[in-house]
Amino acid sequence: MSVSGLPMTVADPGLPARVRIHEVGPRDGLQNEKTVVPTDVKAEFVRRLAAAGLDTVEATSFVHPKWVPQLADAEDLFPRVKDLPVRLPVLVPNERGLDRALALGARHVAVFASATESFAKANLNRTVDEALAMFEPVVVRARDEGLDVRGYLSMCFGDPWEGAVPIEQVVRVTKALADMGCDELSLGDTIGVATPGHVQALLQALNDAGVPTGRLAVHFHDTYGQALSNTLAALRHGVTTVDASAGGLGGCPYAKSATGNLATEDLVWMLQGLGIETGVDLAALTATSGWMAEQLGRPSPSRTVRALSHKE
């Protein structure tokens, strides 16, 4: 149900005027789908997201196909979307992945580290420091090639095996990624347990350690319904890059209950109400997520998509 004039726009002068949404639906959203989504459908998903005004659409991952079968078609998919007039970041776990991405003309790549030993072991079969050592040559070479490099940090606010994650531990790993040359650091709440004071404290600790807010992005999961209020806390701290997944698709394969990235539509509803520019057309985005939900054969977990798709 769409009601004209809603949400009403009332700005908050303490928040940024503009936010970049880093759309992760085609990669993070789809990577754990059990049924392989046809490459044509993925390409159309990326195209529709770009057409809805998202200027950054994470397209796929150049990990070994054995680890993420859903994204095994990266070589086939990327050329179909690479000429879209948007940023199309891709994940590269190692130098081989970077080679593949470079060969296809990718301009934006991302590595993915963990703030905890348990998740580094589960996701990368390495210690945290071994993983950082693996990423360093990737980041250095990517930057030498003129690419823009993002560093993902998982488990920044809690870990399913370790529980609470000390802030200084997250700062250490984030700073290591920053120091090796990552342009942007995305702080992931992989199991969705963060709350607003914790978000602000981590951002402040990173600033205190010399990582400016301008290099930080936030990546919240809605497992406990906290993603949007944590986003609001991050915006109040000055963060202007927010990760979200169209329709709320996605989760994490190794983290039980880690269902639900922040839905891009729920984020856009809030930002639109706050008068914060994103460039996104909410109706077109909602239609895209509705279409993708049909392809996947199940309703979108995004509350906004469900509300706006509700037929009178």
C-beta of 137 vs 253, nearer to a copy of itself:
253
Decide if 37 contacts 70 (C-beta within 8 A).
Answer: yes
Of 94, 98, 118, nearest to 106 by C-alpha is 98
Query: With respect to a copy of itself, which residue has the nearer C-beta, 111 or 228?
Result: 228
Identify the residue whose tokens are 């650091």: 185
Q: Which is nearer to a copy of itself, 87 or 237 (CB)?
A: 237
Indicate the helix (H) or strand (E) that contains 90.
strand 90-91
Which CB atom, from 163 or from 297, has the smaller least distance to a copy of itself?
163
Question: Tokens for 155?
Answer: 């488990």
Measured CA to CA, the distance from residue 27 to residue 31 in angstroms comes to: 6
Residues lying near a copy of itself in the complex (CB under 8 A) are found at 1, 3-12, 15, 157-160, 163-165, 191-198, 200-201, 222-226, 228-229, 231-233, 256-257, 259-260, 263, 266, 269-270, 272-275, 302-304, 307, 310, 312
Phi and psi at residue 24, in whole multiples of 5°? -110, 5
Handedness of CA 291, 292, 297, 299 (dihedral sign): negative
Cα separation of 203 and 220, whole Å?
A: 14
**Shortest separation between residue 97's beta carbon and a copy of itself, angstroms:** 31
Whose Cβ is closer to a copy of itself: residue 10's or residue 35's?
Answer: 10
**Shortest Å, Cβ 13 to a copy of itself:** 9
Q: State the sign of the Cα–Cα–Cα–Cα dihedral 246, 22, 141, 131.
A: negative
| Distance of closest approach, residue 5 Cβ to a copy of itself, in angstroms | 4
Catalytic residue among 176, 252, 263, 282: 252
CB 133, CB 177: distance < 8 Å = no
Least distance in angstroms from the C-beta of 153 to a copy of itself: 16
CB of residue 168 vs a copy of itself: minimum separation in angstroms? 13
Q: Provide the minimum distance between the beta carbon of 178 and a copy of itself in the complex, in angstroms, as a whole number.
A: 22
Return the number of the residue (94 or 272) whose C-beta is nearest a copy of itself.
Answer: 272
Q: Residue 156 catalytic?
A: no
Residues 6 or more apart whose Cβ sits within 8 Å of residue 291: 48
The residues facing 216 across adjacent strands are: 185
Alpha-helix runs per DSSP H in the chain:
39-51, 74-81, 95-103, 117-124, 128-144, 167-179, 196-208, 227-237, 264-273, 282-296, 303-309
Show which residues are catalytic. 252
